[in-house]
Structure 1
Amino acid sequence: MLYTPIKFRNVELKNRWVMSPMCMYSCENGIANDFHFVHYGSRSQGGTGLIMVEATGVEPRGRITNHCMGIWNDKQAEKLQRIVEFVHNRSESKIGIQIAHAGRKGSTWNNLQIPIEEGWETIAPSPIPYHPTERIPHVLSVEEIKELVQNFKDAAKRAVQAGFDVIEIHGAHGYLVHQFLSPLSNVRTDEYGGSFENRIRFLLEIVDTVNEELSENTALFVRISGTEYAENGWDVQDSVKLAEILKNHAVDLVDVSSGGNIHGAKIPVFEGYQVPFSSQVKNNGGVKTGAVGLITNAEQAEEILQKGEADLIFVAREILRNPYIAVQGSFEMKAECFFPYQYLRAKISS
């Protein structure tokens, strides 16, 4: 299964390998540069079915750090388009982008909040900082929430114009959308807080307005944290319930990660530790899912797919170590996978 195609709308991936979105902290003013061109381009030469560009801020405050990527203006989108065109013209990979807002977890460096003179005032659904020592974030008004929904829409429009095949909305890891989802970080009493239905409203408004910018030629994914490992917090049952609703809002796949919203949460980490969340969301929510979390080789990835625990395999640290994991896995499994014609002398014969 690992080397069989899969289709989302009109977007067909040649295999189930996905480069997971990972921050590179290497932009100036949110603009991609030659590092990003090589970084993403090299993974496409390794045969990866889908390349996901890192969390990309929909406004300046949406970045995690001063050096994170952005797509709130046309110059940023133009630089990203150069990467997209290389991937499309020089490989069989598809390429997507994760549009995001850090919320209360922004204005940081090395996981520490930087002085406001060097950063910015963070925003959140409620006046609760991620860490008790951090500044209390600005609480969003309903009008400001609507403006942020428009920011996501504008970002999606630029991403489509740049040629991306997939748009992923970042709703995980304690960033702004996740902050709204969780009853531990969202204690609002208006239409965006309280009940489950109110807490998911911000995400659904983003999904619906982003979909207005998409055709059948651009797929829509949403990344969520399957659980936040905290008592009375967001859990896998909430994720299943949300996934069922997202499917009805034309979301093509739910990318299931975990954690990130509660400082000090105890996360049991082991090989494939987040796969059970993907499995539950897929099989109980009736949606296609992506699995991520210490997946390091083709045999492990194949087993996840064969057991029906996910539809795509998102690889993070391992693809940083080895940009050619997909094509090397195809050698092991004697499967077909893109390999640059310039490198054919190095292809292992079957």
Structure 2
Amino acid sequence: MSKLFSPFRLGPLALKNRIVIPPMDQYSATEGKASDWHRIHYGVLAGSGAALLILEATAVSPEGRISPSDLGLWSDEAEEALRGLIGTLRAHGSAALGVQLAHAGRKASVLPPWQGGGSVPEAAGGWPVVAPSPLPWDGGFPVPRALSETELERVRSDFVRAARRAVDLGFDLIEIHSAHGYLLHQFLSPLSNARPDRWGGTLEGRMAFPLSVFEAVRQEVPESVALGVRVSATDWVPGGWDVEQCAVYARELETRGCRFIHVSSGGLSPRQEIPLYPGYQIPLAAAIRSSCSMPVIGVGLITEPDLAEHVVASGQADLVAVGRGMLFNPHWPWLAAARLGARVAAPNQYLRAAPHGVSIFETGR
């Protein structure tokens, strides 16, 4: 039997298989509110057969957005827009639903990728950016303002309020974004955190603020909701954040009630040198998995079902996240089921879509 299509328990959340659709930014919201595009995009993915769908990076405050078009969860209006979207996904999809809560820090106020990704000036709708220290992401980007103690408390409270809204919306899972060079990752890395106070310096100091955010959110999220963290296991830059430090961070999160860790890499510095190949981040996931007992989600150029099956069957990760592969083929789990001799959920309307003579679909919905 296929290991990829075997059930798995992510804390309180029972999943039908090990396929996860990770957060993938859509840059298609208006003032943080979900749009028709989100209904189209997530509607297809929710019925893909993947066990878990995690919505894109959702900003905990307006200034925490990556771009002016980011999804958000800081207002009643944004919450209600998401409520409508979730209702549609629950009615027609089979995937469990998660949301990633994020603050972009010094990588905020930029254009969507198809518009060049450059910094948005304040005159054009941008806003001042903040970070642990006044160190810009790159030479063409603004110098961020170092966050004060009062502002740090506000950021922490923003995460808590957004988590409370996510719980009220009925999400099955909440993922705190601590990766890809965004604010919490900026605190972790010595390349972006030069603070002389208790929030910087040693590894313990650099982990302190992200851990305090997790602890505050943990207090607000009931045990019935799976709460975990996305990490970049390495900056891919000498002298930066690395897998050994990340393993310590993972253990500290686990002692505080973290239910899973989603292992990615990079994003903190344009100086990164990433050795790209299919499954290139899986060795990082395996290293983190060996350092803690939390379930680990592995990700990174996993496009072939055989590779996904090997990752979970060999114990390198407990679940596999398929991102760009799902954008290219939103029915990737159907292909995987056909290749691996497994069965997968599909909407009733699509049950007749299986190739002739191939039985891959469970009872539809």
TM range (shorter): over 0.9
2:117 maps to 111
1:266 maps to 273
Q: Hey, what's the Cα distance between the residues in 1 that align with 2:276 and 2:16?
A: 30
Among 29, 35, 38, the residue aligned to 2:37: 35
Give runs of ≥4 in structure 1 deviating > 3 Å: none
Is 2:98–2:171's contact at 8 Å kept on the other side of the alignment? yes
Residue 53 of structure 1 and its aligned partner are, at CA, apart by 0.5
Q: Hey, what's the Cα distance between the residues in 2 that align with 1:173 and 1:258?
A: 7
Is 1:37–1:83's contact at 8 Å kept on the other side of the alignment? yes
Whether 2:195 is the aligned partner of 1:188: answer yes
Q: Hey, what's the Cα distance between the residues in 1 that align with 2:52 and 2:278?
A: 22
Among 129, 135, 143, the residue aligned to 1:128: 135
Residue 266 of structure 1 and its aligned partner are, at CA, apart by 1.3
The aligned runs of 1:324-335 (5 Å cut-off) are 324-335=331-342
Identity percentage of aligned residues: 40
Among 51, 60, 67, the residue aligned to 2:62: 60
Q: Hey, what's the Cα distance between the residues in 2 that align with 1:337 and 1:174?
A: 35
1:147 maps to 154
Which runs of 5 or more structure 2 residues have no equivalent in the other structure?
Answer: 360-365
**Secondary structure at 2:273 match in 1:** coil
Whether 2:299 is the aligned partner of 1:292: answer yes
1:210 maps to 217
Q: Could you list the per-position Cα deviations for residues 76-115 of structure 1 after superposition, in whole angstroms to 9, with x for gaps in the alignment?
A: 1111122222222323210101000000001111321121
Q: Could you list the per-position Cα deviations for residues 138-194 of structure 1 after superposition, in whole angstroms to 9, with x for gaps in the alignment?
A: 110111101100000000001111111110000001000000001110010111011
Question: TM-score, normalised on structure 1?
Answer: 0.97
Is 1:27–1:33's contact at 8 Å kept on the other side of the alignment? yes
Which runs of 5 or more structure 1 residues have no equivalent in the other structure?
Answer: none
Q: Hey, what's the Cα distance between the residues in 1 that align with 2:51 and 2:289?
A: 20
Q: Could you list the per-position Cα deviations for residues 16-63 of structure 1 after superposition, in whole angstroms to 9, with x for gaps in the alignment?
A: 111110111111111101110111111111111111100011001111
Is 1:91–1:338's contact at 8 Å kept on the other side of the alignment? no
Please tell me the residue identity of whatever aligns with 1:113. S
Is 2:237–2:271's contact at 8 Å kept on the other side of the alignment? no
Please tell me the residue identity of whatever aligns with 1:28. T
**Secondary structure at 2:79 match in 1:** helix
The size of the alignment, in residue pairs, is 350
Among 178, 184, 194, the residue aligned to 1:177: 184
**Secondary structure at 2:122 match in 1:** coil
Please tell me the residue identity of whatever aligns with 1:323. P
Q: Hey, what's the Cα distance between the residues in 2 that align with 1:277 and 1:321?
A: 25
Whether 2:242 is the aligned partner of 1:242: answer no
**Secondary structure at 2:310 match in 1:** helix
Please tell me the residue identity of whatever aligns with 2:180. H
Structure 1 window deviating more from structure 2 (93-102 vs 256-265): it is: 256-265
Q: Hey, what's the Cα distance between the residues in 1 that align with 2:223 and 2:88?
A: 22
Whether 2:327 is the aligned partner of 1:320: answer yes
**Secondary structure at 2:262 match in 1:** strand
Q: Hey, what's the Cα distance between the residues in 2 that align with 1:295 and 1:131?
A: 29
Residue 321 of structure 1 and its aligned partner are, at CA, apart by 0.7
Q: Hey, what's the Cα distance between the residues in 1 that align with 2:26 and 2:140?
A: 26
**Secondary structure at 2:94 match in 1:** coil
Please tell me the residue identity of whatever aligns with 2:58. T
Q: Hey, what's the Cα distance between the residues in 1 that align with 2:295 and 2:246?
A: 13
Please tell me the residue identity of whatever aligns with 2:245. D
**Secondary structure at 1:332 match in 2:** helix
Is 1:271–1:293's contact at 8 Å kept on the other side of the alignment? yes
Superposition RMSD in Å: 1.2
Is 2:79–2:165's contact at 8 Å kept on the other side of the alignment? yes
Is 1:297–1:325's contact at 8 Å kept on the other side of the alignment? no
Q: Hey, what's the Cα distance between the residues in 2 that align with 1:68 and 1:272?
A: 28
Please tell me the residue identity of whatever aligns with 2:232. S
Question: TM-score, normalised on structure 2?
Answer: 0.93
Q: Hey, what's the Cα distance between the residues in 1 that align with 2:292 and 2:42?
A: 32
2:226 maps to 219
Q: Hey, what's the Cα distance between the residues in 2 that align with 1:125 and 1:241?
A: 20
Residue 116 of structure 1 and its aligned partner are, at CA, apart by 2.2
The aligned runs of 1:20-99 (5 Å cut-off) are 20-99=22-101
